[in-house]
Structure 1
Amino acid sequence: MSAPTELPDVDPWIVDVLARLPGAQVVPYPSWGSQTFQVGGKHFGRIGEHPSGARIVTVKGDPDVNAALVGRHAAISPGYYADKRRWISIEIDDEALPRAVAVEAIETAYRLVRESLPKRVQAALG
């Protein structure tokens, strides 16, 4: 199976969120057909497409919080092509989902991964 030739665009609102997170970067990941979000070289999220055709952001999270979000919002499902407990996928074009929920999920994913980095790497991020 060959990788898609075009990678999904990162929505301006997501770019704005990432710009507020020290050291956060968008890194193309052609073999996954996605753009990943990374801090300190570690993935905390990615934007891509679900087999249904929906555009999704898949982010890392706390398993209990993830379960609650999946139960509360139809636009959030266990992580597509990821650990179903630690990752969730968010349909970003679903207008029924408040944008703030997606923003908080991205920020939480960043925080979880940043906190797992070695202290010297965290310090270098500012």
Structure 2
Amino acid sequence: MSEPSDLPTVDQWMLEVLARLPGSQVVPYAAWGSQTFQVGGKHFGRFGVHPSGARIVTVKGDPDVNAALVAQFEAVTPGYYADKRRWISIEVDDPALPRDVAIEALETAYALVRQGLPKRVQASLG
């Protein structure tokens, strides 16, 4: 599948994380100017550019964990264009943010969405 040229290119480290998550896909979403991350046809994240120019990944998460991450890291904010409790946005280029925080957030988002899929869909993912 070719990707529209005006959409941000997903970083290699994100692609490597997604490759470890069975059934995850990168799906271009031109209407949002982003790349979405999906499992079983459901979004668990998206990669795009904030109006400030910062490259962000926005992911679903547990509201309490999200609040703790927002309090701990300047690079983590309530979800841009998303439910501010259940989604967070992470500035991926902020050098003060350990990459492991973003990786764990992606993995958690995937797990949350996958567990909400019908059992037959979960089983088909491996």
Task: Give the equivalent residue in structure 2 for 1:114.
Answer: 114
Measure how far apart 1:5 and its partner are: 6.0
Task: Give the equivalent residue in structure 2 for 1:98.
Answer: 98
Distance 1:101 1:37 in 2: 17
Large movers: runs of 4+ above 3 Å? none
Q: TM-score, normalising length from structure 1?
A: 0.96
Q: TM-score, normalising length from structure 2?
A: 0.96
Task: Give the equivalent residue in structure 2 for 1:7.
Answer: 7
Distance 1:50 1:33 in 2: 10
Task: Report how many residues are paired.
Answer: 123
CA distances 1:7-27 after superposition (whole Å, capped 9, x unpaired)? 000000000000000000000
> Which residue type is aligned with residue 37 of structure 1?
F
Distance 1:8 1:47 in 2: 7
Question: Do residues 77 (structure 1) and 58 (structure 2) align?
Answer: no
RMSD: 1.0
> Which residue type is aligned with residue 63 of structure 1?
P
Percentage identity across paired residues of the two chains? 78
Distance 1:34 1:17 in 2: 18
Structure 1 unmatched runs, 5+: none
> Which residue type is aligned with residue 47 of structure 2?
I
